Structure 1
Amino acid sequence: MLASISGLGAFLAYVATAAALVAGYLVVYMLATAHDEIGLIRRGVTSAAIALGGSLVAFALPLAAAIDNAQGLLDCAIWGLVALVVQMGVYWAVRVALPDLSRQIEAGENAPAIFLAAASLAAGVVNAAAMTY
């Protein structure tokens, strides 16, 4: 039994690092947007949940690749920050293409939210694949 939990310390360290990176990502993302995702989601605005949920999954994909390929916790954290920068770049690129994005999400329009989620996921998949260093 002890052999099966010998990696528990490393597991907990990587989970804690990932949790901190996810929390940091959510803070940065929600500060960057012009709308209140959590408030909108609490009010049942589906478009806000689609956009934030897609972005969160899109960040988690390269973060998982970073954990899988990391040479240590610092390496994992650095590549997690790279994933954060890439995802924020995607958000800003979509904002350029759809300048009324926040108003549309606040209004409950799903099409822009789905496009943002899809663009985020596409970038997350490519970002994760590129992290096979």
Structure 2
Amino acid sequence: MNLLQTLPDFLAYFASAIGLFGLFTSLYVRLTPYAEIQLIRQGNISAAVALIGTLMGFALPLASAIAHSVSLIDMLTWGGIAMLVQMLVFLGLSRLVPELEDGIAGNTLAHGVLLGGASLCVGLLNAACMVY
């Protein structure tokens, strides 16, 4: 039964992480000027690649925050920082590559790979920088 002693902590962290992940996804799809979910339903590979790269770019530092945090509040704080960083990746890249919006909406795979890849790379760096 010792194995189940940490079950409440697992459930609290897991539920919080799923909540943060859902919140991030909801905020991110509202931030972008194109409708990712609708585009993906229509078969837009560029939108799918961009979104999954961004979600992975958020999940990596969130996982790092879970693994290294000293409390649930600490994990939520670092999860919020990871959320902000991913939002800034999109805003910065959309300024550097102004045709990104039309490219993703128009299913130009290069734009989706660029955004998804950049989000994933920054997420990996973000996760590594979360030193406690």
**Fold-level similarity (TM above 0.5):** yes
1:26-41 aligned at under 5 Å gives the runs 26-41=25-40
Which amino acid counterpart does residue 113 of structure 2 have in structure 1? Answer: I
Q: What residue is the counterpart of 1:98 in the other structure? A: 97
For residues 9 and 131 of structure 2, the distance between their equivalents in structure 1, rounded to whole angstroms, comes to: 20
Q: What residue is the counterpart of 1:65 in the other structure? A: 64
Q: What residue is the counterpart of 2:118 in the other structure? A: 119
Normalized per residue, the structure richer in helix is 2
Map Cα deviations across residues 34-82 of structure 1 (whole Å, 9 max, x no partner).
0000001111110010000000000000000000111111110000000
Q: What residue is the counterpart of 1:75 in the other structure? A: 74
Instruction: Report the Cα offset of residue 97 of structure 1.
Output: 1.2
Instruction: Report the Cα offset of residue 96 of structure 1.
Output: 0.7
Q: Which runs of 5 or more structure 1 residues have no equivalent in the other structure?
A: none
Instruction: Tell me the SS of whatever aligns to 1:7.
Output: helix
For residues 7 and 108 of structure 2, the distance between their equivalents in structure 1, rounded to whole angstroms, comes to: 44
Q: What residue is the counterpart of 2:15 in the other structure? A: 16
* RMSD of aligned residue pairs (Cα, Å): 0.8
Q: What residue is the counterpart of 2:48 in the other structure? A: 49
Equivalent pairs, count: 132
Instruction: Report the Cα offset of residue 7 of structure 1.
Output: 1.2
| Percent of residue pairs identical | 41
Which amino acid counterpart does residue 76 of structure 2 have in structure 1? Answer: A
Which amino acid counterpart does residue 115 of structure 2 have in structure 1? Answer: L
**Structure 1 residue ranges (4+ consecutive) displaced by more than 3 angstroms after TM superposition:** none
Q: If the length of structure 1 is used for normalisation, what is the TM-score? A: 0.96
